Structures are given as structure tokens and as C-alpha cells.
Chain A
Amino acid sequence: MSEIVTELDVLKTTERWAAEGRRLALATVVETWGSAPRPTGSHLVIDDEGNFEGSVSGGCVEGAVVSEAIDVIAAGEPRMLEFGVADETAWRVGLSCGGRIRVYVEKVN
């Protein structure tokens, strides 16, 4: 497991990508309601070309987070995103499990 964990360690990946000079944003699950797929504190790192590592929802909303993250990298200001069944876009971008999550997206400087 330690080898797999090392490979999947998002914060180490973030440090490595940053050292390579890539422009990055880090997304973090800061709050969950109901049955959310990933616990609070989970990370997703995204570069400005849309490459990413990690997960904030096990695949449900990563696409949306990635596109917001690219905006955050350009604008520099952090953003709070919210996803869930209450969202009117639930059928396009939502959590099929019925939970809700808040995701904080910040630029890595």
C-alpha cells in the first residue's frame, strides 16, 4: 500500500508539479452533507492544461472542478464551489449519491 499511497499522494504531486514550474490550483473538500463520496479534507490538484490528480468526489464533479480551477489559476482569487442534488444542474454536474459537498479551490503560489 505504501507504494500506491506514495504515487497517489496529491500533496506530494502538487509539490512536484509546482517544482516543475506548472501553474496549479488545489481543490479541497471543506464540507459535506449526507452521503458524500470523499471525506472532508480530500484534495484534487489541477494544472492550467487540465491535468489533474486526486479526487474530491470519486469522479462525479471533477470535470466541473477542473474547469473552475483553470479560471482560478488565471484569476488568482480562491473560489468556493458547491455541488449536490439541490443544485439545478444536478443532472449534469451533481452527486448521484444524493450528498452535497463544498469545494474550496485556491491557486498554488
Chain B
Amino acid sequence: MDRALLAGLNEERAARRAAVVVTELATGRQRLVREAEVGADPLAAEVEKAIRSGKSGIAQTEAGEVFLNAHLPPARIVSIGAVHISQALAPMAKIAGFDFEIIDPRTAFASEERFPGATLHAEWPEDVLKERPFDPYTAVCVITHDPKIDDFPLFSALQTGCFYIGALGSRKTHAKRVERLKEAGIPQSSIDRIEAPIGADIGAATPGEIAVAILASVIEAFRKRKMFADRRGETEPA
């Protein structure tokens, strides 16, 4: 592998963009295909497939065996709200293999003591997202119950096409939320993407159980590749 190619690949990975390293196994010839450049690649269909499935593998081509190594951004869960549920979700998310971040401007909630070792942003979502925007490989859980904190990241998650979006609250709370979203001009089809009540319907009651339910939903959305719009039923499949 060429060092320049490696540096380019690591740059894409750091920026949370998908990329595929294509290696002709007979010759050792190699190239980096960035997500934005897939269409121009001679193996566009194969590269596209690798990105969409998240699976690396060998393709048989005219040039013989070609190995496609798909490097996708690691899935992360962002919890809007440093609440009791997030305290349970933080270790569970890590165990399940997700990066985990918490955003909550209330410093009494978003404290190192309550979340030892976690990635904490004790700031307003508006400010954090300027620096670290959501992307399709992000699951967003809004769980503060406070529209002042929850609504902006909810809009942002819908616009970004995050692979999972869940919002905590009773049906009544959610009905009010839906009203606000509609007033803000968010189409019903987008609003329907929000899982509310949040989490798999397993009758979860305690913070720990709700965290399990959330994680189950996040894993399902991740494995069903909901980071792609057509997998969410939003556009026709490519």
C-alpha cells in the first residue's frame, strides 16, 4: 500500500466518510475510491455494493480477482440528554460496539461524575453540531423532554438522514412535538421517521430497560442499513 493512499484513506475515515480500497490481487495495483467519486470508478457497481452492504470482499473482473475493502464510518449514537437513561445507555452502547456521545447544556446533568469516561458535550446542541455535525452513520436519541434542547437536533437529524432517530416522551408529548415539527415545515414523511415512543416495543419501564429497547432499535436500523434513503423507503432503490 502506498503511503499517500493510506493517508488519504485515514483522512476519509477521520472525516466520517465512506471509502473503498480497491486492490487488483494479480498485480497489486491499488486505488482509493472516495464515496463522492464512486460513479466515476470503473468498478462503480461493485464499489457501490461494498459501501451499501458494509461488506468487504473479492469481485471477479476482467483484470482477475479484485479485493474491495469497504471502510465505513463507525456507527455512533448521540444522546441528546445526559439523563438517567443515558447513564445506562453509555456502557451498553460501548459493549454493542457503538461510539457514544452525550450532548446536554445542563452542566449538572452532563458531568464527568455521572458519565465517567464518556464523550460529553455540556453545551447547546446548536453549538456542538456546528463543530461535529450529524451524518448518516449517526443514531440520534433525543431524551431530555425539553423542546428547547430536543427540537434543534431533531430537525438536524431529519435533514441529515441519520440512520436512527428516536424521541422520548409519551404519546401526548410526542403529539405536541409533531405539531411543532409541522409548524416548522417538516413534511409528515420525515416526521414518521422518528421512533416515538423511543425504543423497541418490549414494555421497557426502568432506565436500564429503556436503554436496552433503544439499543435494540438502533441495532435494527443499523443492520437494515437505514443510513441509505431508499432503505428507509424515501426514494426508489438505486
Contacts and interface: CB of A to CB of B under 8 A. Distances in A.
Interface of A: 1-3, 5, 11-12, 14-15, 18, 26, 28, 30-31, 39-41, 77-78, 80, 104, 106-109
A12 B14 CA distance: 10
B57 A11 contact: no
Interface of B: 1-3, 6-7, 9-10, 13, 23, 25, 28, 30, 55-58, 67, 69-71, 74, 93-94, 97-100, 117, 119
**Ranked 10 nearest A-B pairs via Cβ:** A41-B56, A1-B94, A78-B28, A40-B56, A30-B67, A41-B69, A2-B99, A108-B1, A26-B1, A18-B3
A109 B119 contact: no
Contacts of A28: 67, 69
Contact of B9 (A3, A5, A11, A109): A11
- Identify which of A2, A5, A26 gathers the most chain B CB atoms within 10 Å of its CB: A2
B123 to A, nearest CB: 18
Contact of B1 (A30, A39, A106): A106
Given A40-B55, A104-B23, A106-B1, 12 more contacts: A1-B94, A1-B98, A2-B99, A5-B99, A11-B10, A11-B13, A15-B3, A30-B57, A39-B56, A41-B69, A41-B70, A108-B1
B6 A31 contact: no
Contact of B28 (A14, A40, A41, A77): A77
Main secondary structure of the interface of A (DSSP, over half): mixed
Contacts of A5: 74, 99
